[in-house]
A and B are shown apart, each in its own frame.
Chain A
Amino acid sequence: MAASAIDIERNPKFQQLVAARKSLGWTLSIVMLAIYFGFILLVAFNKDLGNFLGWPLYSGAVATVGIVIGLFVIVSAFVLTGIYVVKANKRYDELTRQIVEESR
């Protein structure tokens, strides 16, 4: 007799899985939103910030702070996704396997 949904929800491993995944997922989402909207607001208020994004990267450089920050946002999207996938592969899949096993 397979376990009912309520039984599975009561399994401490299920609660552990859901809590861990929820907190990681939302934390990373908030980090991504903060990075992106931080960038957008920097662009929108650039003039009030003394053209911060247009500052040369180092004295005499043509490359600007803005270009580096823009590239950083692109790279951060990839890195954050990578962090999630590595953690999920390591931990969540094993927990899920155990829950599925115990529910049979």
Chain B
Amino acid sequence: MTRIKTLVSGAALAALASPAFADAIAGGAQKQATNWSAIIMFGIFVVLTLGITYWAAKRTRSAAQFYTAGGGITGFQNGLAIAGDYMSAASFLGISGLVYLSGFDGLIYSVGWLVGWPIVTFLIAEPLRNLGKFTFADVASFRFKQAPIRVMAACGTLVTVAFYLIAQMVGAGSLIKLLFGLDYAYAVVIVGVLMIVYVTFGGMVATTWVQIIKACLLLAGATFMAIMVLATFGFSPEALFAKAVEVHPKHLAIMQPGTLINSPLSAISLGLALMFGTAGLPHILMRFFTVADAKAARKSVFYATGFIGYFYILTFIIGFGAIVLVSTNPEFLNADLIAKGKSGIEAIKGGNNMAAIDLAGAVGGNIFLGFISAVAFATILAVVSGLTLAGASAISHDLYATVIKRGQANEQDEIRVSKIATIVLGVIAVVLGIVFEKQNVAFMVGLAFSIAASCNFPVLLMSMMWRGMTTRGAVYGGFLGLMSALVGVIFSPAVWEATLGNPKGSALFQISNPALFSMSIAFLGIYIVSKLDRSKRAQRDREGFDAQYVRSQTGIGASGASAH
């Protein structure tokens, strides 16, 4: 019985990791009629962002400008950019789709995705800004032997980025097929080419502004939809809920927890992955180096938390609005399925992830539907750009400049390497995006969060807080966390049974997210190996703590904003 329960929540978790993609892929996205208003509006977005890239390219000469926009982004702008990185197509279409399908359960996920932010503010944001320069490995390796920690951090970064990127590319192809009526392969190539152009020419300046523009468009569009929905009910949420309960086949059950979470162990493990994965995602951590100082870093997470929380409340209203306005409107439903006796909720064309898009059509007509589709595409583009930049920085700054060139790399060479790395990563992402077209890659976002929570986060936190950590402890703990997260996900029901097609119940671990165990293994590994470490290097590592501590707390000696 418990096993069945865990299985159910396992499948739900895979979906949760990236609900939009799960359905877009599993539902075998059908190609829609070409949507010209959406394509034209997306074209306008592309022209605008290419203009910004041209402008940014002229000011992206130094490594500091390429990696971190020279530290010249304000706290408010960075808050928008962080929120933009987080408000992916998966959270916009996926969460509103989940609310559409099962009501309250959608709220459980939005909450999980939000609560990591306060922790980032309280414990990480300021020391991170004070210690770091370009990548989070700068912080993690601050007082340690450079090469081993950089290699470990680069592995953590690249594995996280790779899984996240594949999921985004496959999701992009499927969604665009649905939204624009473009071929899957075209869609993936367009995303890949634009992303390479933004990052190689415009670096972090362009990547940040693309993200800010997209965040504003998305927040504005979602606000408009929520207001239109509430206006239909005289701005009474109670009236909206009452109507939704009346028309939804599950009736009152949509107002309370359903089947998604019912095993406490799975629930806690997932909660940990969402919460601390946020604090270990390399493309998010990198954003803290784009502001001038610790004060701006602190403010930017405050703004980001506000924007993200507000956005999740909007998606909740949008999901309920879609229950009332989309599932009752034959225009958005598949007539064949209705004829077979399916409910309006189940019969929505293109699957439940289309709920927000269709609602846009219902409240704002075809032009607004085109606008929201274009914003969804822009969202994917902005998120993959940030990911690619983070991956390329790990290659050029951590591996090339620090490990291979032992810190003696010429700045222009380092920038050249990161541009080449961007192109290579872009090409790999496109190829993998096409290879994985028919695969269910939903588990990959969950995997990325688990690895970020089990490898990047423990090493980062312990290096900043614990005097006793040594190089050896960090490397062993980090790799143990990485490996146990990988193994835990591969042998979980969602991957071993649902994706690889092994019989039900054969998965080694009947828990959908390994974070509870892999995080513990990482922290214990760091602690035990560091305690046992009696090497000369270990002594130096511990002695280096005072200087690091003073800088992390006061910012004395921190790299400031470069000239503008």
Contact = CB atoms under 8 A, between A and B. Distances in A.
A1 interface: no
Contacts of B550: 5, 8-9, 14
B412 interface: no
25 contacts: A5-B549, A6-B546, A9-B549, A14-B550, A24-B122, A26-B122, A28-B118, A29-B119, A33-B119, A41-B268, A44-B264, A63-B241, A64-B256, A66-B104, A66-B107, A70-B108, A77-B117, A81-B121, A81-B306, A84-B118, A84-B122, A85-B298, A85-B299, A89-B295, A100-B554
B546 A62 contact: no
Q: State the main secondary structure of chain B at its contact with A.
A: helix
Contact of B555 (A29, A82, A100): A100
Given A17-B553, A44-B261, A81-B306, 18 more contacts: A9-B546, A37-B268, A40-B112, A54-B252, A54-B256, A62-B238, A62-B241, A63-B238, A70-B107, A73-B114, A74-B309, A77-B117, A78-B309, A81-B121, A81-B305, A96-B554, A100-B555, A100-B556
A31 to B, nearest CB: 9
Interface residues of B, number: 51
Nearest to B243: A62
Dominant SS among interface residues on chain A: helix
Interface residues of A, number: 54
B255 A93 contact: no
Interface string A38-72: 01110111110001011000000111101100110
B275 interface: yes
Given A28-B122, A100-B556, A73 B261 contact: no
Interface string B337-358: 0000000000000000000000
A62 B245 contact: yes
B181 interface: no
Contacts of B245: 62
Contacts, number: 157
Contacts of A47: 262
Contacts of A82: 302
B554 A74 contact: no
Interface of A: 5-6, 8-9, 14, 17-18, 21, 24-26, 28-29, 32-33, 35-37, 39-41, 43-47, 51, 53-54, 61-64, 66-67, 70-71, 73-75, 77-78, 80-82, 84-85, 88-89, 93, 96, 99-100, 103
B372 to A, nearest CB: 23
Contacts of B119: 29, 32-33
Contact of B111 (A5, A25, A36): A36
